[in-house]
């Protein structure tokens, strides 16, 4: 009995030493404790497979599992939401809108990935740029002179490439007849240009989420111990986190990018953007293009390479906007490089979110004023 207790004590002591060493290493390497993923039941997932997109969000669903957000610049300062997040009948954040639109209603569709979709919250309210854009436009004298109401569709999905954005717009968003489309998208295409065997449809580096469901479900079979960081780290690496939202890109990417490679020409991205412009034009929709913001707060190889890629993307966006006579909002050139605006390289604090909303609102005000003069 004494030997058994001694062995158990040694095991506990060993695990304690491993845990202490892991926490020390992780804090030195990343400046914070290991972010343990939120655990929920499989049926509570809001990320689902889709027949024509790499993945989508579940339609008519409510996200009510809140967590502190472990963003690198402001770890655990913000929450996922203040009020539970509603996904509508096309799988985007926000309430359902009628497909028909009255002429005295201003409807805007915000297209993009996590820079558009992301919601953060403090103890007072939720923040995302489409909602703030609606508030700013609804109080604008220029808008109120022309429209009775303002509707802004948040059509962003975190992790989507430009190809996903274009396909979703053609399948879902176009039916709602927005007068304006805001394109704020970038970054997610770039790693695919640094992989072997490039294909225009990105099949060289991505697969449909449905192909990875078996692997993802493995993470749900293992217990969660939020206080045991070394165990959570090992389990996450070997079997997945049990949180599909946190690891969707890791599961659908079929190879890793080589950050020592040179970027290929952004052929697929350019084609998708041009087709989006032409589709909007064919339906009488005015399109705005924003440069993508990247904050080089960490001078790592990965971040330097992505910063280089975002510069290439923004040159492409400006070129396409100039060719088609589209308003170009240089967000990346105008936003202050300050931690007060960012939670990481591409996501924003409430101050940064307000900056995006303000710049796009000002651009739409100017377009309406110009149309009135004409």
User: For the residues 64-69, what does the mean pLDDT come to?
Assistant: 87
In a domain, 53, yes or no: no
- 229 and 84 fall within a common domain: no
In a domain, 60, yes or no: no
Which residues span the domain enclosing 23?
1-37+209-252
In a domain, 139, yes or no: yes
pLDDT tens profile 132-189: 999 999 999 999 999 999 999 999 999 999 999 999 999 999 999 999 999 999 999 9
- For residue 1, the model assigns a pLDDT of 54
- 190 and 306 fall within a common domain: yes
Per the model's pLDDT, the better-predicted residue between 56 and 215 turns out to be 56
User: For the residues 316-335, what does the mean pLDDT come to?
Assistant: 98
Lowest average pLDDT, out of 14-23, 57-66, 178-187, goes to 14-23
- For residue 373, the model assigns a pLDDT of 43
- For residue 230, the model assigns a pLDDT of 87
- How far is the CA of 180 from the CAs of 109, 152, 361, in angstroms? 6, 10, 12
Instruction: Report the DSSP pairing between strands 105-112 and 149-156.
Output: parallel
In a domain, 314, yes or no: yes
- 260 and 238 fall within a common domain: no
CATH of the domain at 336: 3.40.50.1110
- 104 and 160 fall within a common domain: yes
- 94 and 194 fall within a common domain: yes
Indicate the residue among 232, 252, 272 that finishes a domain: 252
pLDDT band of residue 372 (cuts 50, 70, 90) is low
In a domain, 248, yes or no: yes
- Cα four-point dihedral sign 188, 190, 195, 198: positive
- 279 and 355 fall within a common domain: yes
- 260 and 317 fall within a common domain: yes
- For residue 280, the model assigns a pLDDT of 98
- 195 and 72 fall within a common domain: yes
The answer to whether the beta carbons of residues 273 and 267 sit under 8 Å apart is no
pLDDT band of residue 284 (cuts 50, 70, 90) is very high
User: For the residues 220-226, what does the mean pLDDT come to?
Assistant: 78
Among all chains, which residue has been given the structure tokens 């004023």? 369
The answer to whether the beta carbons of residues 159 and 265 sit under 8 Å apart is no
Residue 203 dihedral angles phi and psi, to the nearest 5°: -70, -15
In this prediction, what percent of the chain has a pLDDT beyond 90? 71
In a domain, 299, yes or no: yes
* Alpha-carbon span 117 to 154, nearest angstrom: 6
- 164 and 269 fall within a common domain: yes
- For residue 371, the model assigns a pLDDT of 65
- 239 and 295 fall within a common domain: no
DSSP-derived 3-state class of residue 271: helix
Residue 287 dihedral angles phi and psi, to the nearest 5°: -115, 135
pLDDT band of residue 62 (cuts 50, 70, 90) is very high
Structural domains of the chain, count: 2
- 229 and 327 fall within a common domain: no
The 8-class DSSP code of residue 253 comes to B
In a domain, 43, yes or no: no
Element (H, E) at 234: helix 229-239
* Alpha-carbon span 308 to 360, nearest angstrom: 25
- For residue 374, the model assigns a pLDDT of 43
In a domain, 148, yes or no: yes
- 122 and 165 fall within a common domain: yes
Any residues with CB less than 8 A from the CB of 326 and at least 6 apart, and which? 277, 287, 288, 289, 320
The answer to whether the beta carbons of residues 88 and 362 sit under 8 Å apart is no
């Amino acid at each position: 009995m004494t030997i058994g207790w001694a062995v158990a004590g040694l095991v506990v002591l060993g695990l304690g030493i491993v845990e202490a060493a892991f926490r020390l290493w992780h804090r030195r390497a990343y400046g914070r404790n290991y972010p343990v993923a939120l655990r929920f039941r499989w049926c509570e997932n809001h990320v689902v497979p889709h027949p024509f997109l790499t993945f989508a969000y579940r339609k008519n669903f409510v996200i009510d599992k809140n967590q502190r957000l472990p963003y690198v610049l402001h770890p655990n300062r913000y929450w996922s939401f203040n009020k539970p997040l509603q996904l509508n009948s096309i799988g985007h954040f926000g309430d359902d809108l009628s497909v028909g639109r009255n002429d005295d209603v201003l409807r805007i569709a915000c297209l993009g990935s996590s820079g558009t979709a992301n919601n953060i919250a403090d103890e007072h309210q939720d923040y995302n740029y489409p909602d703030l854009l609606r508030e700013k436009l609804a109080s604008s004298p220029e808008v109120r002179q022309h429209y009775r109401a303002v509707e802004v569709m948040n059509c962003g999905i975190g992790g989507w490439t430009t190809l996903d954005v274009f396909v979703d717009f053609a399948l879902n968003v176009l039916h709602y007849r927005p007068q304006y489309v805001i394109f704020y998208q970038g970054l997610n295409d770039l790693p695919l240009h640094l992989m072997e065997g490039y294909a225009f449809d990105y099949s060289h580096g991505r697969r449909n989420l449905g192909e990875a469901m078996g692997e993802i479900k493995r993470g749900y079979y293992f217990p969660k111990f939020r206080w045991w960081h070394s165990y959570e780290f090992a389990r996450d690496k070997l079997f997945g986190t049990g949180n599909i939202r946190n690891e969707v890109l890791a599961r659908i990417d079929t190879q890793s990018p080589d950050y020592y490679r040179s970027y290929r020409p952004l052929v697929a991205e350019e084609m998708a953007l041009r087709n989006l412009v032409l589709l909007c034009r064919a339906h009488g929709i005015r399109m705005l293009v924003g440069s993508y913001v990247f904050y080089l707060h960490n001078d790592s190889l990965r971040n330097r390479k992505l910063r280089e890629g975002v510069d290439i993307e923004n040159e492409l966006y400006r070129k396409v906007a100039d060719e088609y006579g589209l308003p170009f909002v240089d967000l990346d050139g105008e936003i202050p490089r300050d931690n007060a605006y960012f939670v990481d390289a591409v996501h924003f604090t409430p101050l940064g979110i307000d900056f995006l909303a303000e710049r796009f609102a000002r651009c739409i005000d100017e377009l309406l004023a110009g149309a009135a003069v004409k």
